[in-house]
Amino acid sequence: MQLKANERKVVNTQPLDYLFTQGESGVDSIPIVLPLRYGQVDLSALRWSIQLVSERDTFISKPLTVQKGEENLTVLWNVDEDCTAVPGRVKLTIVGISEDGTEVIKFDGREILIKAAAYGSFAPAPDTLSAALAQAQKYGEEAAIAAQQAVESAASAKQDAQFAQEAVGKGPYIGENSHWFLYDATAQAHLDSGISAYGAEGKSPYIGEDGYWYQWDQTNGIYQKTEIQAQGPKGETGGVVSVNGVMPDGFGNVDVEAGVASVFGRSGAVTAQSGDYTADEIAQTASRVFVSPQEKAKWNSPGDIINGTLSVWQRYNASDSTTYTDPDNAYVADRFRASGTGTVKPNERGYGADITGTITMQYWMEKTDFALLPDPVVVYYSVDGVMQSVSTPKSSVSTDSDGNGCVFSRAITDQTLDWVSLYPGRPVRTYAQELAMCRRYYQTHELSLPPIKENTNAAIYAMPRINFPTPMRIAPTAKYVGRSGNSGLSYYSTHSNVPNISPSSFTAITDRVAKIVFTMPSGVTMALGDFVYTNLTLDAEIY
C-alpha cells in the first residue's frame, strides 16, 4: 500500500481507514510519496515526521525514514504501538522540518479511524447496490422455504434446517474495506464486489412507503424505485410440534406449567453458576463503551506533569543572564529544577527549553501524587522533536525525606527539551491552565498600596490585604524587594521619603488572603497620599 501527495499538499489517506487496530505494533510500514521540490524548497534537505492528533486531544510525533529517488521523495512510516494507542478518529499530518527545528511544510491527510481492540458486532447498513439487495432477498426466501419444508416433513427436518442455515450464510455483508462482499457459488466463498457500501455520491438507499427499496440514479440525479421489496414474502405459519415434551391437542393447543423447565441442562430451582455467561457475550453500544486496561489505569492516576510543555517561566529574566546561566539546582522553567554548566532559555515557539552546554533537568512530584503512580513509573519526553520514554521501577525512583519523588531526570546537551508527560504525546493544557497550576508553588506580585493603621496602641502599620489569584500548596516563604533593589519595603510620603523599611511579618490569613505588617520609622507619620511599594515573591516549592 502506497500513499501519494498531490500538488495541493494533500495526502490521500482513505486506504488507511479501518486498517489499524488499537495496540498494533510493527505490522504495517506505509510509504508516502512526496515531490522532490515544492516551489523553491528542496524537500530532500528536510527532516520528516508524522504528527497524529486524536479526537481525544492526544498528540504524538514520529520520525520518518527518507528515501530520495530520481523523481520523487519517499518517506516511510513504521506504525508502532504509540501510533495505535488511542482508538477512534485520528488526524494525520506529514511535516518537513529544517535543521534549526522550523516546521517548513506540511502535507495534510484526512482523518482515519483506528478500530478499538474490543467492540461488538453490528448489522450492515443498506446499500445502493441492487444486486446485493436482490441477493439478500433471494437467500432470505430460500431460508424461508427451507424452514417451511422442515415443519412439513419431520423426516427431512435436519437436512432442510442445514440447507436453511447454508442459505442464510450466503447473504452479502460489508467488509473491513467498506465494500460489499457477495457470495460466489463457483468459488463457494464471498468475494469483494469492488462497490462501496456508502453508495454513489454518498446517497444511501431507503425504503419507500410502498415497502420497496428506492436507490439513487446517478445519471438522472433522482431516486428510482427498484423491484426489490424490503421484506420478503410471509411464509405459512407452522404448527406446534411439542413444548417440553407435551404434545398439542386436537385444536393445536398445548397445556404447559408456568416457569422454565431447565436452564443449561439444570432443572428445578436453578441458580446461576460460574461459566453460564461470559463478558464476551456483551456487545459494545453507544451508551456502553469498553475501555482498554491502559485507559482504566489512568482513572486512579494523578493528573499529568505540571508545566510539562515548559511554557511557564516566572523566574526567567531575559535581560539578567544570571537567571538562566549555570543553574545550581534552580527553578528556571516552573516546576523543573536545572543543574549544570550552560544556559536554559524558553523556546521562541512558546513551549520547550533551549539548552546550551550540558544541563540536567529534573521534575519532582508531590508525595500524594507520586503514591498514585503505577509501578513501574513510565515517563515520556521529546528532545529535538523525537519522542522517547524511560521506565523506572517505583522503588528505584529518588525520593526526599518527605516522600516527594523525582520522576524525571535527564542530562540534555546542546538540544531542545520539547515536553515531558506521563502519557504518550505533548500535553494539551493551555498556558493559562498551566500558569494557574504553577502558582500553587510560586507567585510574584508588584505591590504599590497605601498604608493602613494595624494597631491603635502602637506604631504598627500594614499594607491592605493581598488577595492571591491562586491558593498556594502550603504557607509560602515571602521575599521583598524595594524600589531601590534592596530587600524590604519602600515607603513614600508626601512630606518625607523613607527609602527602605523592613517588614516585621508576613501573615497568611486564609489560603487566598495575606497581609504585610511593618513598624513606621521614628519621626514619620502617615499622611494622605503615602504609599508603600515592594516586589513580593511567595515561594511554596518542593525543595
- Look at residue 406 and tell me whether its pLDDT is greater than 70: yes
Which is more confidently placed, 358 or 113?
358
Residues 6+ apart with CB under 8 A from 340: 326, 327, 357, 358, 359, 360, 411
For 212-269, the pLDDT digits (tens) are 877 777 777 787 888 777 766 665 556 556 666 667 776 667 666 655 667 777 877 7
- Name the average pLDDT for the chain: 80
pLDDT above 90: residue 518: no
Q: Which domains does the chain have, with CATH numbers?
A: 3-114 (2.60.40), 130-267 (no CATH), 321-438 (no CATH), 442-539 (no CATH)
pLDDT at residue 32 in the model: 94
Quote the pLDDT of residue 337. Answer: 95
Window from 258-267, 288-297, 322-331, 375-384 with minimum mean pLDDT: 288-297
Packing angle, helices 157-168 and 130-152, rounded to 10: 170
Q: Where are the beta strands (DSSP E) in 252-375?
A: 262-263, 266-267, 330-331, 336-346, 353-365
Given a cut of 70, is residue 94 above it in pLDDT? yes
% of the chain at pLDDT higher than 70: 75
**What percentage of the chain has pLDDT greater than the value 90?**
34
Q: Is residue 399 classed as helix, strand or coil in its secondary structure? A: strand
Q: Does pLDDT of 88 surpass 60?
A: yes
Q: Is the pLDDT at 338 greater than 90, yes or no?
A: yes
**Percent helix, strand and coil across the chain, each to the nearest 5:** 15, 40, 45
Of 23-27, 158-162, 193-197, the range with the lowest mean pLDDT is 158-162
Whether residue 347 is predicted with pLDDT greater than 60 in this model: the reply is: yes
Residue 268, number of CB atoms within 10 A of its CB: 8
Give the span between the Cα atoms of 483 and 476, in whole angstroms.
22
Burial class (CB in 10 A: 0-12, 13-18, 19+), 212: middle
136-154 tens-digit pLDDT: 667 667 766 766 665 565 5
